[in-house]
Amino acid sequence: MDVRKRNNVQLDGAGETTIVFAHGFGCDHNMWRLFAPGFASRYRIVLFDLVGSGGSDLTAYDRGRYGSLHAHADDVLQIIDEFATTPVIFVGHSVSATIGMLAAIKAPGRFAANVMVGPSPSFINDGEYVGGFERADIEELLETLEDNYLGWSSTMAPAIMGAPDQPELAKELTNSFCRTDPDIAKHFARVTFLSDHRADLLRVSTPTLIIQSNDDVLAPVSVGGYMHNAIAGSTLAMVDNVGHCPHISAPGPSMVATEDFLRKLAV
């Protein structure tokens, strides 16, 4: 298996410690272009695409294997084994924040820190847990995606990006969604939006930073608070941002929160 080809791994930066960046649904590693370079002078940078996304090897996407987020977590561990020699700092956006968490639970010794940008362990409301959507809402969203993926992309991408004062970012995310293989996107969307990893939060031992936008249509403020309370010793950083992608629409504050967190850990 050629891990570099499978996940379109890109390397940059210099340093003893490696930061691994992982993108969210419908995106690719280019979504870190405003964030990752700020760390390249002190850290080794590893960027990659989830299998099925961006420039990854689409032939490697097996619906049986990738029927849960655990397969992507296994890919992350293989990338770390291949391109890092010391425990890494993992920075994951949205679904990749959960993927990184699962990888760290499986192999905690390979992780020095976990930065979760706009994470959600479950998008579906359940009793006192407010994930942001009723089950019927998610099912309707997935049905719309199945029937008209391009139409869904053009409607959902602007809502997900937010950033009303930066309309070019919504257009960029729409184009990213539209470049994604529709069949793979439909499958991965179902895996992403129907997964529930709330119980796994209690198993986290890696130092964790949660970066939460104060206005996020996919991951409301209540989700950040829930995760902060569930992950022992975690840090919650609220960013003044409209949208689910603060690393793109508010990279400065997101980087400051990350820098402060890493400085306290001395990594």
Question: What whole-number distance in Å separates Cα of residue 86 and Cα of residue 94?
Answer: 25
DSSP 203: G
**b/e 121-151 (16+ beta carbons within 10 angstroms → b):** bbbbbeeeeebbbeeeebeebbeebeeebee
| Residue 216 falls in the annotated catalytic set | yes
| Residue 126 falls in the annotated catalytic set | no
| Residue 228 falls in the annotated catalytic set | no
Amino acid occupying residue 215 = D
Q: Which of 23, 93, 197, 244 is catalytic?
A: 244
Q: Which of 53, 56, 94, 176 is catalytic?
A: 94
Question: What whole-number distance in Å separates Cα of residue 58 and Cα of residue 182?
Answer: 12
Q: Which of 216, 228, 234, 254 is catalytic?
A: 216
Question: What whole-number distance in Å separates Cα of residue 209 and Cα of residue 227?
Answer: 10
Question: What whole-number distance in Å separates Cα of residue 241 and Cα of residue 70?
Answer: 30
- Provide the annotated active-site residues: 94, 216, 244
